[in-house]
């Protein structure tokens, strides 16, 4: 189970690329519906990577599993030799950062 909540970096594609590389299925658990930001409580995202298919089909997990999202092919698996923060930075549509990410 990997915690991927972050306001500035979208870590989901990085973790999903790792899961793809090692051949394990992965699901995202999202508890943002229980967040109370006005009170200082924020939701979180977790990714479960396991070869145990039965675990991923448990009703408790299915109730909180976020729909699978396709990620940009530009986000490649990270290694000791390669990582790319620019591709996973959270950006607004039409911003300069979004333009840079499209290069």
pTM here is 0.80
Q: Which domain holds residue 61?
A: 2-101
In total, how many domains does the chain have?
Answer: 1
Q: How far is CA 56 from the centre of its chain?
A: 16
pLDDT tens-digit series, residues 31-51: 776 656 667 677 788 999 999
Confidence of residue 52 (pLDDT cuts 50, 70, 90): very high
Mark 66-94 as b/e (b = at least 16 C-beta within 10 Å): eeeeebeeebeebeeeeeeeebbeebeee
């Amino acid at each position: 189970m990997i915690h991927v909540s972050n306001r500035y970096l979208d870590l989901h594609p990085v973790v999903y690329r790792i899961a793809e590389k090692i051949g394990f299925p992965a699901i995202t658990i999202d508890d943002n519906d229980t967040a109370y930001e006005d009170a200082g409580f924020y939701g979180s995202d977790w990714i479960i990577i396991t070869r145990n298919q039965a675990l991923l089909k448990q009703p408790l997990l299915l109730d909180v599993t976020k729909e699978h999202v396709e990620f940009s092919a530009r986000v490649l698996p990270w290694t000791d030799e390669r990582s790319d923060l620019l591709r996973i930075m959270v950006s607004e549509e039409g911003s300069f950062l979004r333009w840079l990410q499209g290069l």
